[in-house]
């Protein structure tokens, strides 16, 4: 195995295992996933790049993702609500949960000095 590739194998049961391979730089990432969850892909990216993540995403993937790190993360988390914050030294990702078709409006502020 070359130094440019990283192999992460996580058992998913007695007969199956996920396979995530990460190659390239943060500007040109290549991720190959076989029966891997989005969380397993994020973990593989975090072990290779300056990426920190919180939360989990259960969607399973078989396929290849290519592009800048931020774009790969966005494609992996398609269908989830999440926040990406780019720092000088890397990327922070917070997975909030599955996306919903229902919009929830924020609470209306109560004017100061008035209680309801």
pLDDT at residue 5 tops 90: no
Structural domain total, the chain:
1
Residue 87 domain boundaries? 5-98
pLDDT at residue 3 tops 90: no
Q: pLDDT digits over 58-99, tens only?
A: 989 999 999 999 999 999 999 999 999 998 889 999 999 998
In a domain, 105, yes or no: no
In a domain, 13, yes or no: yes
14 confidence band (pLDDT: 50, 70, 90): very low
Q: What gap in Å lies between CA 66 and CA 53, rounded to an integer?
A: 19
In this prediction, what percent of the chain has a pLDDT beyond 90? 63
In a domain, 111, yes or no: no
In a domain, 75, yes or no: yes
The CB density around residue 56, as the number of other CB atoms within 10 Å, is 14
In a domain, 86, yes or no: yes
Q: What gap in Å lies between CA 103 and CA 40, rounded to an integer?
A: 28
In a domain, 103, yes or no: no
In a domain, 36, yes or no: yes
34 confidence band (pLDDT: 50, 70, 90): very high
């Amino acid at each position: 195995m070359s130094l440019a590739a990283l192999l992460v194998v996580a058992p998913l049961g007695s007969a199956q295992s996920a396979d995530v391979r990460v190659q390239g730089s943060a500007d040109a990432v290549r991720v190959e996933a076989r029966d891997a969850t989005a969380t397993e892909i994020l973990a593989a990216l975090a072990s290779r790049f300056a990426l920190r993540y919180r939360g989990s995403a259960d969607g399973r993937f078989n396929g290849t993702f290519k592009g800048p790190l931020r774009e790969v993360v966005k494609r992996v988390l398609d269908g989830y609500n999440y926040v990406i914050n780019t720092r000088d030294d890397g990327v922070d990702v917070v997975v909030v949960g599955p996306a919903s078709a229902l919009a929830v409006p924020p609470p209306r502020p109560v004017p100061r000095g008035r209680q309801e």
